[in-house]
């Protein structure tokens, strides 16, 4: 007897359907009150952290510059420093909250390199566990994600709120610490 995995959210990705515009420009341009809907966990000075809508594993995060570019050459040094500072913090937060045994970190620059959104540079950090790969990717080109994106968002967001207060000295809503 064969089993069916139901993952309807993947069909638009598999068909290559994307809304017009750039998700990495459009999502952070929206009001911060929509961050949960847009899966934005953190807004920094030049970078933001967003969950991957089509993750390779639970907790798959992306660190993205606000500046729309597809090349590292256009990233200011301050943005590059913020990107790698956030990478360290993301690894720490994921370790503290999800206990992975390792990480994949990298960028796919260009369509031929495997970038799903090749027009806007972004850095992936993917938590990994022993045994998290199985026969599904090999035989069915399918990955199994064991938790809902919203549950993962809810569990990670308080850690990123704390990070925002630590790095930027303010609250996610923009409320000043001195008023709290």
Q: How many Cα neighbours within 13 Å face the side chain of 45? A: 13
Does residue 136 surpass a pLDDT of 70? no
pTM: 0.77
Strand-by-strand arrangement of the 40-43 sheet: 40-43, 47-51, 61-65, 123-128, 102-106
What band does 94 get if pLDDT is binned at 50, 70 and 90?
very high
Q: Where are the alpha helices (DSSP H) in 99-148?
A: 135
Only one residue has tokens 């495997």, namely 114
Average pLDDT, rounded, for the chain: 82
Does residue 144 surpass a pLDDT of 50? no
Does residue 5 surpass a pLDDT of 80? no
Given the residues 60, 120, 122, 159, select the one marked as catalytic.
122
- The pLDDT score that the predictor gives to residue 57 is 84
Q: 93, 159 in Cβ contact below 8 A?
A: yes
Q: Residue 156, exposed/middle/buried by CB under 10 A (0-12, 13-18, 19+)?
A: buried
Work out the average pLDDT over 103-108: 92
Per-residue pLDDT tens for 34-61? 999 999 999 999 999 999 988 878 899 9
Residue of 128 and 17 predicted with greater confidence: 128
CA angle 30, 38, 173 (to 5 degrees): 60
- The pLDDT score that the predictor gives to residue 176 is 43
122 tagged catalytic: yes
Does residue 165 surpass a pLDDT of 50? yes
- The pLDDT score that the predictor gives to residue 66 is 97
Work out the average pLDDT over 100-108: 92
Give the separation between CA 127 and CA 132, rounded to whole angstroms.
10
- The pLDDT score that the predictor gives to residue 112 is 86
> Domain residues of the chain, as ranges?
21-156
Relative orientation angle of helices 77-98 and 149-168, to the nearest 10 degrees: 130
- The pLDDT score that the predictor gives to residue 16 is 59
What band does 172 get if pLDDT is binned at 50, 70 and 90?
low
Pull the structure tokens for residue 82. 């913020």
Does residue 151 surpass a pLDDT of 50? yes
Domain 21-156 has CATH 3.30.428.10: yes
């Amino acid at each position: 007897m064969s089993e069916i995995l139901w993952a309807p959210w993947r069909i638009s990705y598999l068909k290559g359907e994307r809304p017009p515009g750039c998700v990495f420009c459009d999502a952070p341009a929206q009001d911060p009150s929509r961050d949960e809907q847009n899966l934005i966990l953190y807004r920094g000075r030049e970078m933001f952290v967003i969950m991957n809508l089509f993750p390779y594993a639970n907790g798959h995060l992306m660190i993205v510059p606000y500046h729309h570019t597809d090349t590292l050459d256009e990233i200011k040094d301050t943005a590059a420093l913020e990107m790698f500072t956030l990478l360290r913090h993301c690894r720490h937060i994921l370790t503290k909250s999800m206990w992975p045994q390792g990480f994949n970190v990298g960028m796919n620059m260009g369509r031929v390199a495997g970038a799903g959104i090749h027009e806007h540079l972004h850095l992936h950090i993917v938590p990994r566990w022993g045994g998290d790969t199985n026969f599904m990717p090999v035989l069915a080109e399918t990955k199994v994600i064991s938790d809902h994106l919203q549950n993962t968002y809810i569990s990670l967001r308080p850690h990123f709120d704390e990070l925002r207060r630590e790095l930027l000295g303010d609250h996610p809503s923009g409320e000043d610490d001195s008023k709290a």
